[in-house]
Chains A and B, each alone.
Chain A
Amino acid sequence: MSTVKMTVQIGTLTMRNPVTTGSGTFGFGSETKDLVPLDRLGAVTVKATTRDPRLGNPPQRIAETASGILNAIGLQNGGIDDYLTNKAPYLRDFDCPIIVNVPGENPDDFAYVVERLTAAGAADAVELNISCPNVSHGLDYATDPQLAASVVAAVRNVTKMPVIAKLSPNVTDIRVIAKACEDAGADALSMINTVVGTAIDPRKRKFRLANITGGLSGPAIKPVALLAVWRCYNSVKIPIIGMGGIACPLDAIEFMLAGATAVACGTGNFVDPTLSLEVIDGIEQYCVENGFADVNALIGAVTAA
């Protein structure tokens, strides 16, 4: 056993290591129970949970592109009642903090779901999905600092849980949104959500996705995500959960060096559901090999070339 201190802090949430899962890339934790013991994760971030059940978008929902995928799932989920009844009890059987991703069409929607989660004790932190590109009204909040702040403030009013705002890369300057969320009371930021794009099948002369647009994720977006993390790290004081294309432990190290306090494995879970475990072990090993006694020493430790 190494003696590296692996715990990190996201507001009042203590993670036993800096690794969580990207919302929508790990279901509700039970799907991969044969492969991933949840109590090894720093936290589990579950699929988006909305006020009312959502059918999601028609297929085709995912298209594979160079070093990534485009998705337009459309937030298919059973709603907050389904989460509280059927998902949370399973998750609570593990010694693993739960981060619930919450989208909404207006600040009241966000506040309603967070209030229910708080009352039921069914989450340890909430991640505000103000940036899902696949549903109408979803993106708007993360592209306008005042709208983003209004959602954070509405949720801040109804919970003491750590509030994490998930930011979109589809903006001119992500630092402006980050600052607005911090000022409105967010405890942390997560970034980045997917990059909006599309794909066309030239043989059929049709869009590949039924929704036409989708969110690009996977290794293709890692450089975009890293820069967003580094810029925000230098602009706000609250911790950042970095994500976007992590496919191996060294990718996660890059995010921490850029300023992330924690990281999320996302699309990589589709390729290897055990990726998070590999990343946890790999971060610890990196610290041992490079003489870091505390993983927190990696945060923002990148220097000029």
Chain B
Amino acid sequence: MIKKEAAQVVSVTPLSAPRHFVLTMKSAHLASHSRPGHFIAVAADTGSAILRKPFSVYTVNPSAGEISILFSVYGPTTTAMSRMLPGDTIDVLGPLGGRVFNPEPVIGCHHILVGGGYGVPPLNYLAKSIRAVAPDTKVTVIIGARSANLLVGDDGLAAAGVDVIYCTDDGSTGVHGRVTDALLPLLQEDARVYTCGPTPMMKAVGELSEAHNVDCQVSLETFMPCGVGICVGCVVKKRDGVYSRTCTDGPVYPGCEVAW
């Protein structure tokens, strides 16, 4: 169920990656209804920029009734968010998304989550969710970035028993290369792939998985003006030629449905 609320800001914490923050807010509604892949839309009083901006749910703490989102400062909305203080209210709409990640069946698979940039936070949530219901299931998260100082979204993964592989374009940490370099050897029969990040990365991950007959779910990031399916502005072309609204028909699609 979608709800609009003025949630109370619990904290806004800067990350080591420049201009990146984690904003935690109080919302019993979002904490109990969000699933990995869901997003929320934030409205901030920013003057001339009127539209809400979407953010994937990063962490969920149902007992505290809190959720968090991870963002980098890019425009007026994220600038306003970075300046929020504990106790401020944040205008949020959510949880949004018609189709989210589906890790079922959880047991008997090697879940491989491939993320880059702001694509990592929803995968972090997914990885922990899988481990929470099936503690013996193998989960690997591959995180890519241009450089070590831009790697974000790995908070708590190792503690949850998730294997984390870092890939950097400049070799400053982990694998010196692309996420697909790390993914390729893992594409065995039991693999299931989930990806979220820049479109060229998701396209490469989707195509590589498809070539190895591995199921791949992609969470598309498009410019979403409304987030609830009414503006029809966030469409992506599917292989059947139809323009699909990523906010309500997605954001998660089988990789084989997307006309990259």
Binding site for B on A (CB under 8 A): 24-27, 31-32, 34-35, 47, 55-56, 58-62, 64, 66-69, 71, 73, 76, 218-219, 247, 267, 269-274
Given contacts A71-B233, A219-B50, contact A62 B2 (CB under 8 A): no
Interface residue SS majority, chain B: loop
| Those of B197-215 within 8 Å (CB) of chain A | none
- Give min CB distance, B238 to chain A, whole Å: 11
B51, A271: Cβ atoms under 8 Å? Answer: yes
Give, as a whole number of angstroms, the nearest-CB distance from A56 to chain B: 5
Residues of A within 8 A of B1 (CB): 34
Chain B 207-233 interface mask (CB, 8 Å, partner A; 1/0)? 000000000000000110110111111
Task: Please give, as numbers and ranges, the residues of chain A lying within 8 Å of B43 by CB-CB distance.
Answer: 271-272
Q: Is residue B242 contacting chain A, with contact meaning CB distance below 8 A?
A: yes
Residues of B within 8 A of A71 (CB): 231, 233
> Do A32 and B230 touch across chains, with their CB atoms under 8 A apart?
yes
Query: Can you list 21 contacts pairing A with B, beta carbon distance less than 8 Å?
Result: A24-B232, A25-B230, A27-B232, A31-B229, A32-B228, A35-B3, A35-B4, A55-B241, A59-B222, A59-B234, A59-B237, A61-B233, A64-B51, A64-B225, A269-B226, A269-B230, A270-B51, A271-B50, A272-B93, A273-B4, A273-B93
Question: Contact partner of B50 among A56, A69, A273, A274, CB < 8 A?
Answer: A69
Residue of B49, B235, B242 with highest tally of chain A CB at under 10 A = B235
CB of B230 within 8 A of CB of A270, answer: yes
**B233, A73: Cβ atoms closer than 8 Å:** yes
Interface secondary structure of A, over-half rule: loop
A273 CB contacts on chain B under 8 angstroms:
4, 93, 226, 228, 230
B27 close to A (CB within 8 Å): no
A56 touches B235 (CB 8 A): yes
Measured CB to CB, the closest approach of chain B to A20, in angstroms, equals 14
In the bound assembly, the distance between CA atoms of A31 and B231 in angstroms comes to 10
- What residues of A have a CB within 8 angstroms of the CB of B31 in the complex? none
The reply on B48 being an interface residue by CB < 8 A is yes
Q: How many A-B residue pairs have CB under 8 A?
A: 91
A residues in contact with B233, CB < 8 Å = 59, 61-62, 71, 73
Enumerate chain A residues within 8 angstroms of B49, measured Cβ to Cβ: 64
Report the bound CA distance from A34 to B93 in whole Å: 11
Across the interface, which residues of B come within 8 angstroms of A27, CB to CB? 229-230, 232
Q: How large is the interface on B (under 10, 10 to 19, 20 to 34, 35 or more residues)?
A: 20 to 34
Chain A residues, Cβ within 8 Å of B52: 270-271
- The reply to whether A67 and B241 form a contact with Cβ atoms under 8 Å apart is no
Rounded to whole angstroms, the CA-CA distance of A59 and B51 in the bound complex is 18
Nearest chain A residue, comparing its CB with the CB of B227: A270
Which of chain A's residues have a CB closer than 8 A to the CB of B243?
55-56, 58-59, 76
Besides the known contacts A55-B242, A69-B51, A271-B50, 14 further A-B residue pairs in the complex with CB atoms under 8 A apart: A31-B228, A32-B228, A58-B237, A59-B234, A61-B235, A62-B234, A67-B50, A69-B225, A71-B231, A218-B50, A270-B230, A271-B52, A272-B4, A273-B226
Assembled-state Cα–Cα distance A92/B229 (Å): 20
Instruction: Give the distance in Å from the alpha carbon of A176 to the alpha carbon of B231 in the complex.
Output: 31
A61 to B247 alpha-carbon distance, docked (Å): 14
Q: Is the CB of B51 within 8 A of A73?
A: no
Interchain CB contact under 8 A, A270 and B222: no
Q: Which chain A positions have C-beta within 8 A of B50? A: 64, 67-69, 218-219, 247, 267, 271
Closest to A220 in B: B48
B7 CB-CB contact with A under 8 Å: no
Q: Which of A34, A55, A218 contacts B3 (CB 8 A)?
A: A34
Q: Which residues of B contact A219 (CB under 8 A)?
A: 50
* CB proximity to A under 8 Å, residues B1-45: 1-4, 43
Query: Please, how many angstroms separate the alpha-carbon atoms of A43 and B2 in the complex?
Result: 22
Instruction: Flag if B235 contacts A59 (CB, 8 Å).
Output: yes
B225 touches A62 (CB 8 A): yes
A270 to B228, CA, bound (A): 8
Closest A residue to B75 by beta carbon equals A64
**Residues of chain B from 141 to 174 with CB closer than 8 A to chain A in the complex:** none
Q: Chain A residues near B225 (CB, 8 Å)?
A: 62, 64, 69, 270
Residue of B nearest to A58 (CB): B237
- Minimum CB–CB distance for B174 against chain A, Å: 30
Complex: chain B residue closest to A21, CB-CB: B230
- Partner among A34, A73, A218 whose Cβ is within 8 Å of the Cβ of B232: A73
Contact present for B3 and A26 (CB under 8 Å): no
Give the 4 A-B residue pairs with the shortest CB-CB distance, closest first: A62-B233, A270-B226, A27-B230, A31-B229
B248 at the interface (CB under 8 A from A): yes
Cβ contacts under 8 Å, A58 to chain B: 237, 243
Q: A64-B225, A69-B51 are in contact. Are A56 and B232 (CB under 8 A)?
A: yes
A221 CB, min distance to chain B CBs, angstroms = 12
Q: With the chains together, A58 CA to B49 CA distance in Å?
A: 24
User: Which of chain B's residues have a CB closer than 8 A to the CB of A60?
Assistant: 223
- The interface centre, meaning the residue of B49, B223, B230, B241 with most chain A CB atoms within 10 A of its CB, is B230
Contacts of B226 in A (CB 8 A): 269-270, 273
Taken together as a complex, chains A and B put the C-alpha atoms of A272 and B248 apart, in Å, by 16
Q: Given the complex of chains A and B, what is the CA–CA distance between A269 and B241 in angstroms? A: 28
A252 to B3, CA, bound (A): 25
